[in-house]
Structure 1
């Protein structure tokens, strides 16, 4: 009779386990979290096609994700082969595993979320290095021009030799700073290539538009303004928290813990996750204020250097005044790039804390990153 019951059983039904929702800070929409039709990862909404391309390609070829997908597929295949009669005892219990993907599937989605964040940070670091390189390159031409003007004015007896000497020193210093900026950009490209698994040439081609290939004059640190407004209204989908919820559910069913202990553990994890999100949101507000302030400082510095340049060429300002103004303007430009970089990073950190770096497809083994080559399977295991 019991055997017949096992044959007819539809399997374990997704009934309440009593772990969700937890009043005062539980999981949002636990049974269907992450399965919304519009649950695209954040970089697909960022308005930065280069970032979207690099992250999509990087995640599709990431070895850690491929190995994790391989393990997930094996686990799901093993679960399908398991005879339902082995779970017959669960049919007579009031507690059931909550609806949703397996703990391993949610853990895989959480890994996607983390890997996307790492790749995005490498991308933003490369953009900062590129912005600094651009600033240094664009500063050379006017500084060389100033040095030439100083030489002509000295030859005409209008100024002392000190102006020409200062001009030469300024150009020499900038040549050294430019070489340093080029080295930093090259290192950032290497790091980004390593994170995404792409060739360095492909990374450079993505970062530098064809029209700028010779000069590499570009400053493309993303502002994320449109995305920030869109994602501010998006509910978190914290895959790591869902993985813990499913694991705790199974632990209760297998008598490895009590429902009360599981609820307490999940409440603690949920509170910690909420605290991380709150901290990231405050950091974003601080980064935004810093960026706004740096933009105002840069605007003032640029006005000052324009006035100093006109004054020097008209003979009403000294070269020392122009030197200080242009050095200050360059410093303000680099500080502004760092502030915008910090703001972009703060956005990514908040979205990562909210678990917005994965999609429902990442819960399905068949749709995870590219299959692991046969020769690499052993390294995955």
Structure 2
């Protein structure tokens, strides 16, 4: 997906085009005037200015790295919101079940109407939050589609739903330099994620116990209500923490080595080289 965005970026394409035009013009000038005549006339276009070319290359590399980071971050955000929606959707089914149990207990004279009202309120709140999350996902999907040069609906079909937040194949603390201030923040994030994962296991056990107790008439609905709210908050916090760690890892990783971003930027030695892995053919029009 990152490669798709790099290949379709008009800005990247135009910067490469400017670099290629510079290479081509330099080669043509040298061919037309000749090195000897160029030295005689002092024509500055005869010989390439290394610094000028290096500047053009750096502009391409910088934009490629920045765009790759933007695409990766946007992708993580889409996956985070997809998990958010999947979680809230599953909770709605759970809340509806709570309402049915509360209604049954009321009809049997085992509970007041308050239980049913709380259950319905819980479901309506979840429905509203689900709609809000869907709106944010639509915006995030549109932004990712813009970055990779795709249509939101087409991209959504490609990605599917829900999707797990990808784990970079690197140890975030291993790639961070000891003096990098982001390392301490990332370490705190890793620890926070681990604590939330443990807290979620405990919260889920509490929900199971509270639900069983309410069904058997051994516990009030308010306990179940609070237990489910707490479990939901922990699970959503865990999704956010994981997304934050992955984004921070990608940010650190992207700044380690930009060799990949220099691919295809070697000088052209012929006016019209055949397309190879070492060169890029530019077809888009630029201003």
- 1:58-69 aligned at under 5 Å gives the runs 58-69=5-16
Match of residue 351 from structure 1: 253
Q: For the structure 1 residues 82 and 291, does the alpha-carbon distance in structure 2 shift closer, same or farther, using more than 3 Å as the test?
A: farther
Match of residue 126 from structure 1: 78
User: How many pairs were matched up?
Assistant: 263
Match of residue 319 from structure 1: 221
User: Aligned partners of 1:154, 1:342: CA distance in 2, in Å?
Assistant: 44
Q: Which moved more, 1:141-150 or 1:306-315?
A: 306-315
Structure 1 counterpart of 2:198, from 293, 296, 303: 296
Residue 216 of structure 2 is aligned to residue 305 of structure 1: no
The answer (yes or no) to whether the contact 1:305–1:329 under 8 Å persists in 2 is yes
Q: Secondary structure at the match of 1:102?
A: helix
Match of residue 240 from structure 2: 338
Gaps of 5+ in 1: 1-53, 89-96, 209-215, 237-273
Match of residue 283 from structure 1: 185
User: Aligned partners of 1:345, 1:318: CA distance in 2, in Å?
Assistant: 42
Q: For the structure 1 residues 198 and 145, does the alpha-carbon distance in structure 2 shift closer, same or farther, using more than 3 Å as the test?
A: same
User: Aligned partners of 1:183, 1:368: CA distance in 2, in Å?
Assistant: 42
The answer (yes or no) to whether the contact 1:66–1:369 under 8 Å persists in 2 is no
- 1:162-201 aligned at under 5 Å gives the runs 162-201=114-153
Q: Secondary structure at the match of 2:154?
A: helix
The runs of 4+ residues in structure 1 deviating greater than 6 Å are none
Structure 2 counterpart of 1:371, from 248, 270, 282: 282
Shift of 1:369: 6.2
The answer (yes or no) to whether the contact 2:72–2:250 under 8 Å persists in 1 is yes
Q: For the structure 1 residues 231 and 105, does the alpha-carbon distance in structure 2 shift closer, same or farther, using more than 3 Å as the test?
A: farther
Q: For the structure 1 residues 62 and 368, does the alpha-carbon distance in structure 2 shift closer, same or farther, using more than 3 Å as the test?
A: farther
Indicate the structure whose relative CO is greater, using CA pairs within 8 Å and at least 6 residues apart.
1
1:312-332 CA-to-partner distances (Å, cap 9, x unmatched) read 112111111001111111111
Match of residue 143 from structure 1: 95
The answer (yes or no) to whether the contact 2:15–2:56 under 8 Å persists in 1 is no
TM-score, normalized by length of structure 1?
0.63
